């Protein structure tokens, strides 16, 4: 039952946290997360590409996209935007591109400006259960997430 799922309660045994210092102002980092032309350029694991099928970046809107593996396998994804507070906060649910995905997880991104023009970006994934979080870690979620943030850092370097 969906109402039993604790969506907003943080639990250390269900979360994955990644942090990166990016050499770009937070407005640009936030834009890279919320503009289609930026997202498709970097949001994927190394060696993959991303193809957007539909995007509506607003509270309640969704981004439906495919991550395309080097062998051509398509991984359908859906992000539903829950909170957008430019340029400091972005909250969304991420899962497979299907309704009621039981493995869907909540992502909270914060963008903290630094006096040197850089941005500290913190990405928190809250998974429905500890078992699902552990399965994602075994699958390589941390390594894939760090590789994706490498893609973001490179994309921001190209923009500057």
Helix or strand holding residue 133 (H, E)? helix 130-139
Residue 53 maps to a domain: no
Residue 125 maps to a domain: yes
Output the domain CATH number for residue 102.
3.30.530.20
Residue 38 maps to a domain: yes
Residue 48 maps to a domain: no
- Measured distance CA(110)–CA(103) in Å, rounded: 23
Rounded percentage of the chain residues whose pLDDT exceeds 90: 91
Rounded percentage of the chain residues whose pLDDT exceeds 70: 94
Domain tally for the chain? 1
Residue 58 maps to a domain: no
Place of tokens 């979360």: 15
Task: Check residue 5 and give its pLDDT.
Answer: 44
- 1: pLDDT confidence band, cut at 50, 70 and 90? very low
Domain that holds residue 122: 12-43+83-159
Residue 123 maps to a domain: yes
Phi, psi for residue 43 in degrees, rounded to 5:
-80, 85
| Residue pLDDT, tens place only, 65-115 | 999 999 999 999 999 999 999 999 999 999 999 999 999 999 999 999 999
Q: What letter does residue 100 receive in the DSSP assignment?
A: T
Residue 117 maps to a domain: yes
Residue 66 maps to a domain: no
Give the burial class of 131: count Cβ atoms within 10 A of its Cβ; 0-12 exposed, 13-18 middle, 19 or more buried.
exposed
């Amino acid at each position: 039952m969906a109402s039993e799922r604790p969506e907003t309660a943080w639990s250390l045994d269900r979360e994955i946290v990644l942090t990166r210092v990016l050499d770009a102002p937070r407005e640009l980092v936030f834009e890279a997360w919320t503009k289609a032309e930026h997202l498709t350029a970097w949001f994927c694991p190394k060696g993959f590409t991303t193809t957007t099928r539909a995007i509506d970046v607003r509270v309640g809107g969704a981004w439906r996209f495919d991550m395309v593996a080097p062998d051509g396998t398509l991984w359908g994804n859906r992000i539903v935007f829950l909170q957008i507070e430019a340029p400091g906060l972005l909250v969304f649910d991420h899962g497979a591109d299907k309704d009621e995905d039981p493995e869907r997880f909540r992502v909270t991104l914060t963008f903290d400006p630094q006096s040197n023009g850089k941005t500290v970006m913190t990405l928190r994934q809250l998974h429905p259960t500890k078992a699902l979080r552990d399965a994602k870690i075994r699958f390589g979620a941390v390594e894939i997430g760090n590789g994706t943030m490498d893609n973001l850092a490179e994309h921001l370097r190209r923009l500057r």
